[in-house]
Structure 1
Amino acid sequence: MAKVREHGWVDTAVFGDDEGPGFSFTTGLWVNTGQPELIMFGMKREITHDVFWDLFREAKAGAPLPIGEPTNRAFENLFAYAFPVAKRFYPDHIGWSRWFYGSDEFPCLQIVWPDRSGIFPWEPGFDTSFVNDQIDLTEHGWKSAVTG
C-alpha cells in the first residue's frame, strides 16, 4: 500500500446509510508507530482526517492516547475518550486494516466525542439528537470502559 509507505498511514471513510452512521478509520499506525489504529464515527471526513493526522504525529513521537479516560488530545476544544474496539466488530468496520495486516492481530481504538454540552453518550443528559451518530464498539459498553 503506497500511501502507508509514503505517509505512514491512510484513512478510509465509509458513508453512513440506513444501517448506521458514517465513520473513518486508519491503517498503518500500528505498523509505523506501535500505537493502535483509530476509528471515529459521525464526524465530517475533513475533521476526522485532521484528528488522525495529529494523533499519528503524537504516536510517532511516542505519546499514546490515554485509554478510558478523558483527553483533549483528539480535539482542541473538547474532551474525547479512546476505547479498545472489540475484535468481533473488526469484520464490519475495519476491513481494509484487516486486509493490510492479514489478520485481526492488531489493536484499534474508538474515539468517542461528546455532545455540544460536553456530555458523553453514556452520561445522563446526553443530547438525544446525537444518539445514532456513534456506535459502541467496545466489548462491554462505553460506560464500563471508563476508568477516569
Structure 2
Amino acid sequence: MLTALDADEGKLDEAERKFVSAIREHGWFNTHILKSDGKPEFNFTTGFQVNLGAPEIIVFGLRDEVAHGLLWNLYRDLKTGKRYETGRPYTDFLEGFDVCFQVVDKSQYHEHLGWSRWFYAGDAFDCWQLIWPDKQNKFPWEADFTSNLLDLQPDLSAGHWGGKILN
C-alpha cells in the first residue's frame, strides 16, 4: 500500500511534512476537528492501517484530550496484537462504560477524513467509528439513550448504526 510515507519530502508542504513526520515517529497521527456549524468536534487517526493493519478510528463528541488518550490506548493495544470486532461492546476503554465499533461507510470519508484520504491517496483504507454510551451505559441506537447526546455522535455507518443492535 502506497502512502504519503513513500512521497518525496521535497514535494510536500510544511504541514504535510509535519504530518508524515509524526506518523514516522509515533506510528500514527491524531487529527482533531473543532465543532462548527452545529456539527460536533471529533478526532480521527491516520497510520493505524499502514502500521498496524487495523482500521483507522474516528470518535465524536469527546474533548480532544480524552479522545486522544483513548486513541493512544487503542494504538498501544493494537500494537501488542489485540484485535477488535464491530458491533459488540468492549469494557476496557472507559472505566465503568462500554464502547463499541461500527464500520464507517465510504460515503462519509470525504466529509470527515481529509488527512487520512490525503495520506492514503484516496479511500482505499478502512475506518471504524468508536461509539461511547451515555451515563446509563446505553448506546445511541438504544431507545432510552440520553436524547440530548444524540447530536454528539452522528451515525457514519451505511445504515442505522450498521444495522447492529447490541444486547
Structure 1 segment 1-148 matched on structure 2, within 5 A: 1-142=20-161, 144-146=163-165
Q: Greater share of helix residues, 1 or 2?
A: 2
One-letter code aligned to 1:105:
A
- Structure 2: which 5+ runs fail to align? 1-19
1:66 is displaced (CA, Å) by 2.2
TM-score (norm 1): 0.95
RMSD over aligned CA atoms reads: 1.3
**Structure with greater Cα Rg:** 2
- Structure 1: which 5+ runs fail to align? none
Alpha-carbon deviations, 1:7-42, whole Å to 9, x = none?
A: 000100001112411100000000000000000000
Aligned equivalents of 2:22 and 2:39: distance in 1? 28
Aligned equivalents of 1:111 and 1:7: distance in 2? 21
After the TM superposition, which parts of structure 1 deviate over 3 Å for at least 4 consecutive aligned residues?
none
Distance 1:118 1:66, change over 3 A: same
Number of residues paired by the alignment?
148
Paired-residue identity, %: 39
One-letter code aligned to 2:45:
T
